[in-house]
Structure 1
């Protein structure tokens, strides 16, 4: 009986066609620019709330500032991780129907490799995300300039005691977890096959961000989002943040590429489908 249901579901399901590599018609559609605005605002809000949380934690744990309760440890790493994961949950939920709720160039890159978005959309999304991140950090600095400069501006840097290989590996694996979760949570085949299992996509994506932050904050401060790292580096503008910046682009892009290949060509058997189609045509 179960097998019959699965076969029926398989007959009813059809993969959506892949996005064109270059779709110039998108540039003439208002929905495309609306999506860019959504990505810009979402990334701005993401950086504003999360960087404020990081700076607030450092102020609370500074013995020179925390004169009210010396034993207070602030929100801690757990609170910072919740801020990042919670904001992603909220913002993906709000923007998924407009732009897809990427809010991260690595996610956009992974979805581009999976043929979910065109090259034009992918590039413009990344630009909007980076601009949003810069503006979000700019707002934080504008409101709390002294704290911003004193407590690191929320910039991602490789922490003391770790080498660059460890930092790069942490960014690759962390981004793999995130992008793999994005593919799994938004897989239309899974929704058709496992309709009895309700999936609220923003929830697992937010939890993935939360869990990765718990693991990698002590190593790199957790990037897994090139726009987040770039925006903070631009506004903070210190040598250390720029020296480590490559790590927060190379690592996430490699992790996103591995996740896209793993999901599309191994779990979804895209390679076997392509080979089967080639053989049938031959």
Structure 2
């Protein structure tokens, strides 16, 4: 929920830069959004690795399930919890920052003007692949055994991968590499464009 609260607020800040009149969120920028996402992923993976294995993204959980590293029941439970947490997180944003939330589309993932659906799909496929591949590499048993004396080496590359992917894909789709984050924003904002674009983004995340 903290992750969604912070990151959706920064997305709102980015969207406010295209407004005709500046406001308090107008200085965030792409770099600020990317750092917010990457930094919070780093912190959350570090904090939850010993509890759930750092499962905060349904796309990653699904990939680990296919690799037989997570059971079906546990994977479903994780994905439901992730999605519900995202909905609650976006609900908090709407409750505490309703003016900015409504003005700038609630941070929902939508395809930006000037980009085709194919471009958006390609951006999401590549971005999700980069993240999942980084997670598999960072959690490789041989690598973990060798670097066990430096536990921060697992969440660090994951957070940095999220940071880099956001820099590349925020201008296209708003970055939907986390289906839970996309679902939460779409459910609470509940606009037709957000849902139409979200379906394509969600399918490509998986």
TM-score of the two chains, using structure 2 as the length reference: 0.93
Q: Following the alignment from structure 1 to structure 2, what is the Cα–Cα distance between the partners of residues 202 and 196?
A: 13
Pairing of 1:152-231 with structure 2 (within 5 A): 152-192=105-145, 194-195=146-147, 198=150, 200-231=153-184
Q: Following the alignment from structure 1 to structure 2, what is the Cα–Cα distance between the partners of residues 142 and 73?
A: 20
CA contact (8 A) 2:87 2:188 kept: yes
* Counterpart for residue 64 of structure 1: 21
Q: 2:10 aligns with which of 47, 53, 73?
A: 53
* Counterpart for residue 88 of structure 2: 135
* Counterpart for residue 275 of structure 1: none
| Residues 54 and 113 of structure 1: CA distance in aligned 2, closer, same or farther (over 3 Å) | same
Secondary structure of residue in 1 paired with 2:166? helix
CA contact (8 A) 1:171 1:247 kept: no
CA contact (8 A) 1:104 1:225 kept: yes
- Superimposed CA distance per residue, residues 245-276 of structure 1 (whole angstroms, 9 cap, x where no aligned partner): 112221111xxxxxxxxxxxxxxxxxxxxxxx
| Residues 111 and 145 of structure 1: CA distance in aligned 2, closer, same or farther (over 3 Å) | same
- Superimposed CA distance per residue, residues 222-241 of structure 1 (whole angstroms, 9 cap, x where no aligned partner): 00011100100011111110
Q: Following the alignment from structure 2 to structure 1, what is the Cα–Cα distance between the partners of residues 154 and 82?
A: 20
| Residues 195 and 59 of structure 1: CA distance in aligned 2, closer, same or farther (over 3 Å) | closer
* Counterpart for residue 63 of structure 2: 110
Q: Which has more radius of gyration?
A: 1
CA RMSD of aligned residues (A): 1.9
* Counterpart for residue 149 of structure 1: 102
Q: Following the alignment from structure 2 to structure 1, what is the Cα–Cα distance between the partners of residues 195 and 53?
A: 30
- Superimposed CA distance per residue, residues 183-240 of structure 1 (whole angstroms, 9 cap, x where no aligned partner): 1101112233x44995611100000000000111111110001110010001111111
Gaps of 5+ in 1: 1-43, 254-282
TM-score of the two chains, using structure 1 as the length reference: 0.69
Corresponding pairs, count? 205
